[in-house]
Amino acid sequence: MRMRSPIPKKHARIEIIPLIDIMFFLLASFMMVSLSQTHMKGIRVTLPSAVAPPPQEQNKNDLISVRVAVGNVIYYNNQAIAPEDLKPRLFQAHAANPDIKVSISAEMLAPHGDVIAVLDTVRDVKIQKVGYQIRAAPSTGH
C-alpha cells in the first residue's frame, strides 16, 4: 500500500523576475563604473567673453588690405597696382613693421589661382599674420 506524505509536494520552479532585477542592477553598476573610469580629453578653447575688450587703437600702418579683382587686378589698400608691384610694396611694409597684418579678399568671379598667387607672394615676404575676408554664400531657399 502506498501512503501519501502529509506534506504537499511542490514542483521546483525557477523564478525569473528576481533574476531580471539582479541583471538590471549589475548592468547599471557596470555602466556607472565604466563611465567614471573614462577620462575626457579635449582641446582648450578660448570662448568670447560677454564683455567686449576695450578697443585698441589701430595704427593705419598695421593692416594692409589686398583685394583681387577679375583680370588679375590687385588693389593694395584700395589702390589699383600691377601684380608685379605687390611684392616690393609688401616687402617694404614688412621691413617697416614686422608685425604687419595682411587682409586678403577677392571678388566673386576672380580666379582662384590669382588669389593663391597673392597668398604665395605674402608668404614669400615672410608676413605671418594673414587674414581672409569671406562672405557667406547666398541661400538657395531650400
At 67-120, the pLDDT tens digits run: 999 888 899 998 999 989 999 999 999 999 888 999 999 988 888 899 999 999
AA letter at 128: Q
> What's the CATH code, domain 60-132?
3.30.420.270
- Percent of the residues in the chain that have a pLDDT greater than 70, as a whole number: 85
The dihedral sign for the CA sequence 17, 20, 22, 28:
negative
The rounded distance, in Å, linking the Cα atoms of 53 and 74 is 34
| 70, three cell numbers | 577679375
Q: Which of 134, 123, 138 is nearest to 90 (CA)?
A: 123
Mean pLDDT of the chain: 83
Whether the pLDDT of residue 141 is over 70: the answer is: no
pLDDT value at residue 122: 92
Quickly state the pLDDT bin for 139 (edges 50, 70, 90).
low
Threshold 0.75, pTM exceeds: no
Angle CA 99–106–117, to nearest 5: 70
Confidence of residue 29 (pLDDT cuts 50, 70, 90): very high
